[in-house]
Amino acid sequence: MSHFPHPTGDAAVGTASVGRRKTTYHPSRPPFLRLGCRDNWDASFGEQDLIDRMVVLGHTAGLPFSRTLLVTYYVSLKTNPFVILTGIEGSGKTELVTLFATAVLGRGSPQYALINGDTSWLNATGDQHSFRSLLDHFTSLRFLELLQEAADPGSAGKAFLVCFDGMRPAEVNYYFATLLSVDDAGRKRLNLPGVADDERPVVPPNVSITATVNTAEYAGALSAAVLRRAGVIAFRPTKCDAPVPYSPQPAPVGMQRLWLRASQRDEAAARAQLVQHIGVTALNRLNCSEALAGMLRRAGIPLTQRTRQELTLYVANSFDEHGQGLFDAEDALRNAQIAFDCQVAQRVLWRLRDTPDDQVRVFLTSYLDALPPLAWAG
């Protein structure tokens, strides 16, 4: 706490009299006006500009991320309770999350928590000790402090980003299926032992969570309970060079509020938006591209009503506040088709990995290879 010297005059109120260590304080503006100015920002800056900022920062850092990959991650984070990036170590997963944090928050922001994986819990003996060790790691002081700060009323316009880095599949399954619960409304709670349901910590809506998983390094698979909630983006098995050191400009004023208000989580509102963007007829006809639909038919995997609701949210989130597509700003129908296929790939294709049908596996590999460089969804 800072301590300031008292004025030497007998009365330290109003305008100080002349003398050493005395100053005159004139409020520059009324307090309510100051609060209004705090929330003021350049309305001409939109989501397309945020994506452009990510592209420029990525190129400056020497990261080979395509614009389509950046949009895929951006829209997935807008739509899903959490996002999981899978691939070999060094393929660029952590760099992608840090790039997004830099674009929204600026470099080195304390509102971005990078929590490194810790495998010591795997050496614990007994289920209770293993669970306790894992619990201690993922409810670390840094994470809980960030949640507390995000929940403060004064942080309503601030965005907070968390990246659980270098997790094993078993860690992901424990954390995102056991320790973290997500209800139908998308609210996230931490299931702490001995804490009543209504007293369990809530993950505030201004906190976005990503996990990176080194799937090629460790054996195991992500559980269905996790994959039903997560957007999964899998990186190709190629190495990504370390970012080139650079000093980006501070994030523009209002960037965090732009990000926080961009997400659409209400299915009815999302459908209404899409009717405006592409029309009711096109929306009702929207389906998988033929190659993707053929794989699903051959594997006998239908798109359930719940999956279609999730698809509607993702497609709606692929348009900016002006109705322009983030994947394709010129063609709304093409943007909707790309977004539809991306979400199917993130939420459904994982079910095809263990299929006994060799032809489906061949189709799946060919489809993934045709997706943007460095990463695919699924």
Give the per-residue pLDDT at 219: 43
Q: For residue range 178-218, what is the model confidence (pLDDT) as tens digits?
A: 778 777 766 788 877 777 877 777 889 999 999 998 876 54
Give the per-residue pLDDT at 130: 46
Q: For residue range 298-336, what is the model confidence (pLDDT) as tens digits?
A: 888 888 888 888 899 999 999 999 999 999 999 999 999
Q: Based on the fold, state whether residues 328 and 365 are members of the same structural domain.
A: yes
Length of the chain counted residue by residue: 378
Domain-located, residue 241 = no
Is the pLDDT at 116 greater than 90? The verdict is: no
Q: Based on the fold, state whether residues 143 and 291 are members of the same structural domain.
A: no
Domain finish residue from 235, 256, 278: 235
- H-helix segments, the chain: 31-38, 47-60, 67-79, 93-105, 127-138, 141-151, 169-174, 224-227, 255-262, 267-278, 280-285, 290-299, 305-317, 332-347, 358-369
- Three-class SS state of 230: strand
Q: Based on the fold, state whether residues 285 and 214 are members of the same structural domain.
A: no
Domain finish residue from 214, 235, 256: 235
Q: Based on the fold, state whether residues 230 and 308 are members of the same structural domain.
A: no
Domain finish residue from 235, 250, 273: 235
Domain-located, residue 220 = yes
Range of the domain at 98: 47-235
Q: Please tell me the pTM assigned to this model.
A: 0.80
Percentage, residues of the chain above pLDDT 70:
71
Structural domain total, the chain: 2
Which pLDDT band, with edges at 50, 70 and 90, does 121 fall under? Answer: very low
Domain-located, residue 217 = yes
Domain-located, residue 257 = no
User: Rounded to an integer, what distance in angstroms lies between the CA atom of residue 138 and that of residue 118?
Assistant: 9
Q: Based on the fold, state whether residues 207 and 142 are members of the same structural domain.
A: yes
Domain-located, residue 9 = no
Give the per-residue pLDDT at 18: 40
Q: Based on the fold, state whether residues 160 and 285 are members of the same structural domain.
A: no
Mean pLDDT of 1-16: 37
User: Rounded to an integer, what distance in angstroms lies between the CA atom of residue 284 and that of residue 281?
Assistant: 5
Q: Based on the fold, state whether residues 175 and 67 are members of the same structural domain.
A: yes
Higher pLDDT, 41 or 117: 117
Is the pLDDT at 41 greater than 70? The verdict is: no
Give the per-residue pLDDT at 300: 84
